[in-house]
Amino acid sequence: MWQFCRVRPHASAPVTEKTSMIRRISWVCCIAAIAGCSNAVTNGGGGGLYKLPDAGKTALDGVSSVSDLGATTGTGDGNDQSCATACPTAANADTTCTKGVCGFSCHTGFLDCDGNATNGCEIDSTTHPSHCGTCDTVCGAVPNGTPSCVASVCAAACDPGWQVCKTDPLVCDTNTDSDASHCGDCNTECPGGPNSAPRCVSGSCTLKCDPGFADCNKIVDDGCEINTTNDANHCGTCGLTCGGTTCINSACECASSSQTATLTPLDIFIMMDQSGSMTDTTGTGATKWDAVTQAVTGFVQDPASAGIGVGIQYFPLPDNGSSGGCPSDCSGAANKYACENGGGLCLGSTCILCLGGGGGGDSCTSGDYQKPEVAISALPGVAPAIMKSMAAHAPTNSTPTQAALQGAIDYAKSFAVANPTHTVVVLLATDGDPTECAVQDPVQIGTTIAAPAAAGNPKILTFVIGVGTSLSALNAIASSGGTGQAFVVDTGGNVLQQFEAALKAIQGKAIGCQYTIPVPANGQAVDPTKVNVQFTLTGGTAQPLKYVDDESKCDPTTGGWHYDNALTPTKILLCAKTCTKVSADAAAKVDILLGCARQ
């Protein structure tokens, strides 16, 4: 067994710093029958005996006082004098001296579980989950939580929203965020109410309303007090009022103010190419000019075209002098054209032999083309004037597309401003690429003239009908003008039929799904926030549409509707997805409902 003994150095041993220190401390450990010390003696967790290192080791190197060994003064037990001097201290323990043996006794709640006397009673058994109450008593896993030790007893530290509400104290068994019988805390039961069932959400009591009912006053005691199927102040949902009408089946009844939607009036301003190449013959033997003018005549005389507005102008027009005089030099495409259009010749950068404006060339002034020969007016009334106008013209000269298209768009804009409920478009009918004026590149004409018009307010779309076999470049103008691509009429076939078909297609595409805002029967102004739209396909029931701010907000699956201008609306437009459905059904019906809050 281990014990502490009082040992003195041999009388013949030289007095050194180490032997002097031994004399001062007056203790060393020893073992019966074995020389030297190798281990400390402990008492199984509650305390222990202290030691010095094995004989021959330098345990006292650097030790100069009793305090360096962590010792305190012992009082002895009266039976021997071995503890008459100091015994070392231990963490979380009291130093003891019993029958000449130094040791320690753990403080309440602390244990020496690793058997290492140098760190004393290292375990707080009141809180340590691996030595809870006694050494090596491990607190096991906890469902929905983590194990813990409280007052030397294993317990459960529950995750947020979980508590121990039932029998097993080591199981976090209840979600108090969602359990209506333990809402926010154990045994806190959510009350129910009329037309509802109790519900716990994020630890707070609320109600789950029966179908057709709602808790609009947020008072739990009276349950879901509102019947949303017939309450005109809470129709379908809390706060949705029917504005004086009744609520039936959770929807405001607006049948008395429902009107069948009417497509917006369409106006087409035709810019007709009368360049010399229009005298070329087609596959039927007729000239391009004759085929195109016959197609336009058929369109304006067709009873199905009644109500469409049509106006016309031609290009090129003769230069009446408004293009300006001879330029000072030939720098730039515009000056070069002006010189040559005035009958002059560019010699290097100098313009010579120029006769000035009105020299017999074609006009490159957009203002000349902005003045319609026949102003836009509704068919069939304007048909005779259109036909008489075409009969008075014949092909000549070149193709000043830039000036002609700019003039046509400027006129269409002014007409649209004066008629805000109309859809106004430009139709460029030509047989070839631009050949004169400063800009002759179709791509540049499209981006600088057609594109701004298509994106403007009012919005002016540009349609293109090309009469010929190689007119793909005109697609650039149509694309920039917001109409996709040009309608190309092949002169090797029946130009008359192809041109008529193109006009019909333009009619449908230009109008699209744009509808006028109806006037209420009482003649009062329409409240834009109390307009709803629904559509009905063949054999189906009415389907309400959701309002969105603009086309970019349209749902790609369900579609919807929006105004042409959210602040000052003049038209109702269906989203592309909805328009496709309606356009594909010849018997589809669109209704506009007035007087109810917008859905």
pLDDT at residue number 320? 66
Q: Categorize the per-residue pLDDT at 251 as very low, low, confident or very high, splitting at 50, 70 and 90.
A: confident
Residue 335, helix vs strand vs coil: helix
Among residues 346, 366, 363, the alpha carbon closest in space to that of 414 is found at 366
Q: What percent of the chain has pLDDT over 70?
A: 80
Tell me, yes or no, whether 141 lies in a domain.
no
Q: DSSP class of residue 413?
A: H
pLDDT exceeds cutoff 60 at 325: no
| Contact predicate 524/533, CB 8 Å | no
Q: Categorize the per-residue pLDDT at 593 as very low, low, confident or very high, splitting at 50, 70 and 90.
A: confident
Of 100, 122, 144, the last residue of a domain is 122
Q: What is the C-alpha to C-alpha distance for residues 512 and 576, in angstroms, rounded to an integer? A: 9
Q: In Å, what is the CA distance from 62 to each residue of 17, 26, 68, 72?
A: 10, 18, 9, 19
Q: Are residues 394 and 485 in the same domain?
A: yes
Taking residues 318-339, what's their average pLDDT?
A: 66
pLDDT exceeds cutoff 60 at 312: yes
Domain range for 310: 266-318+375-511
- Work out the angle at residue 382's Cα, subtended by the Cα atoms of residues 380 and 386, and round it to the nearest 5 degrees: 115
Q: Are residues 442 and 306 in the same domain?
A: yes
Show Cβ contacts of residue 320 under 8 Å, excluding neighbours closer than 6 positions. Answer: 357, 358, 363, 368
Q: What is the pTM of this model?
A: 0.52
Tell me, yes or no, whether 162 lies in a domain.
no
Taking residues 13-17, what's their average pLDDT?
A: 37
Q: What is the C-alpha to C-alpha distance for residues 454 and 464, in angstroms, rounded to an integer? A: 14
Tell me, yes or no, whether 179 lies in a domain.
no
Least confident of 205-219, 388-402, 495-509, 563-577: 495-509
66-80, 214-228, 374-388: which is most confident: 374-388
| Contact predicate 275/292, CB 8 Å | no
Q: Are residues 235 and 288 in the same domain?
A: no
pLDDT at residue number 12? 37
Least confident of 262-271, 297-306, 343-352, 585-594: 343-352
Of 95, 122, 149, the last residue of a domain is 122
Which one is predicted more confidently, 410 or 73?
410
Q: Are residues 301 and 440 in the same domain?
A: yes
Q: Are residues 234 and 300 in the same domain?
A: no
Q: Categorize the per-residue pLDDT at 339 as very low, low, confident or very high, splitting at 50, 70 and 90.
A: confident
Q: Categorize the per-residue pLDDT at 370 as very low, low, confident or very high, splitting at 50, 70 and 90.
A: very high
Q: Are residues 449 and 393 in the same domain?
A: yes
Q: Residues 222-225: contacts with CB within 8 Å, 24+ apart?
A: 222/193, 222/194, 223/192, 223/193, 223/194, 223/195, 223/196, 224/193, 224/194, 224/195, 224/196, 225/194, 225/195
DSSP per-residue codes, 341-388: HTT-EEETTEEES---TTSSSB---HHHHHS-SEEEEETTTTHHHHHH
pLDDT at residue number 321? 56
pLDDT exceeds cutoff 60 at 40: no
The CATH number that applies at residue 461 is 3.40.50.410
Tell me, yes or no, whether 189 lies in a domain.
no
Least confident of 17-31, 206-220, 407-421: 17-31
pLDDT at residue number 57? 31
Q: Categorize the per-residue pLDDT at 256 as very low, low, confident or very high, splitting at 50, 70 and 90.
A: low
Q: Where on the phi/psi map is residue 281: left (φ > 0), alpha (ψ -120 to 50), or beta?
A: beta
Q: How do residues 469-528 score in pLDDT, each as one tens digit?
A: 666 778 999 999 988 888 888 877 787 888 888 888 887 777 778 888 888 776 778 889
Q: Are residues 118 and 70 in the same domain?
A: yes
Q: What percent of the chain has pLDDT over 90?
A: 38
Of 477, 511, 545, the last residue of a domain is 511
pLDDT at residue number 328? 63
pLDDT exceeds cutoff 80 at 438: yes
Name residue 30's beta-bridge partners: 3
Tell me, yes or no, whether 132 lies in a domain.
no
Taking residues 578-584, what's their average pLDDT?
A: 84
Q: What is the C-alpha to C-alpha distance for residues 76 and 449, in angstroms, rounded to an integer? A: 113
pLDDT at residue number 470? 60
pLDDT exceeds cutoff 90 at 464: yes
Which one is predicted more confidently, 307 or 30?
307
Query: Across the chain, how many H-helices and E-strands are there?
Result: 11, 35
Which one is predicted more confidently, 266 or 253?
266
pLDDT exceeds cutoff 60 at 34: no
pLDDT exceeds cutoff 80 at 82: no
pLDDT exceeds cutoff 50 at 42: no
Taking residues 306-330, what's their average pLDDT?
A: 79
Which one is predicted more confidently, 212 or 53?
212
pLDDT at residue number 341? 66
Q: Are residues 227 and 294 in the same domain?
A: no
Show Cβ contacts of residue 501 under 8 Å, excluding neighbours closer than 6 positions. Answer: none
Q: Are residues 65 and 206 in the same domain?
A: no
Which one is predicted more confidently, 119 or 53?
119
Tell me, yes or no, whether 150 lies in a domain.
no
Q: What is the C-alpha to C-alpha distance for residues 340 and 359, in angstroms, rounded to an integer? A: 9
Q: What is the C-alpha to C-alpha distance for residues 170 and 186, in angstroms, rounded to an integer? A: 15
Q: Are residues 384 and 491 in the same domain?
A: yes
Q: Greatest CA separation found in the chain?
A: 149
| Contact predicate 299/291, CB 8 Å | no
pLDDT at residue number 185? 93
Tell me the backbone φ, ψ of residue 115, rounded to 5 degrees.
70, 15
Q: What is the C-alpha to C-alpha distance for residues 105 and 5, in angstroms, rounded to an integer? A: 20
Tell me, yes or no, whether 586 lies in a domain.
yes
Q: How many domains does the chain have?
A: 5
State the chain's mean pLDDT as an integer. Answer: 80
Burial of 286 (0-12, 13-18, 19+ CB in 10 A): middle
Q: Are residues 19 and 68 in the same domain?
A: yes
pLDDT exceeds cutoff 50 at 48: no
Type of residue numbered 483: T
Tell me the backbone φ, ψ of residue 527, rounded to 5 degrees.
-90, 110
- Work out the angle at residue 323's Cα, subtended by the Cα atoms of residues 317 and 324, and round it to the nearest 5 degrees: 150
Q: Are residues 277 and 409 in the same domain?
A: yes
Q: What is the C-alpha to C-alpha distance for residues 40 and 49, in angstroms, rounded to an integer? A: 6
pLDDT at residue number 566? 87
Which one is predicted more confidently, 587 or 452?
452
Q: How do residues 125-145 score in pLDDT, each as one tens digit?
A: 999 999 999 999 999 899 999
Tell me, yes or no, whether 34 lies in a domain.
yes
Which one is predicted more confidently, 82 or 92?
92
Taking residues 14-38, what's their average pLDDT?
A: 32
pLDDT exceeds cutoff 60 at 193: yes
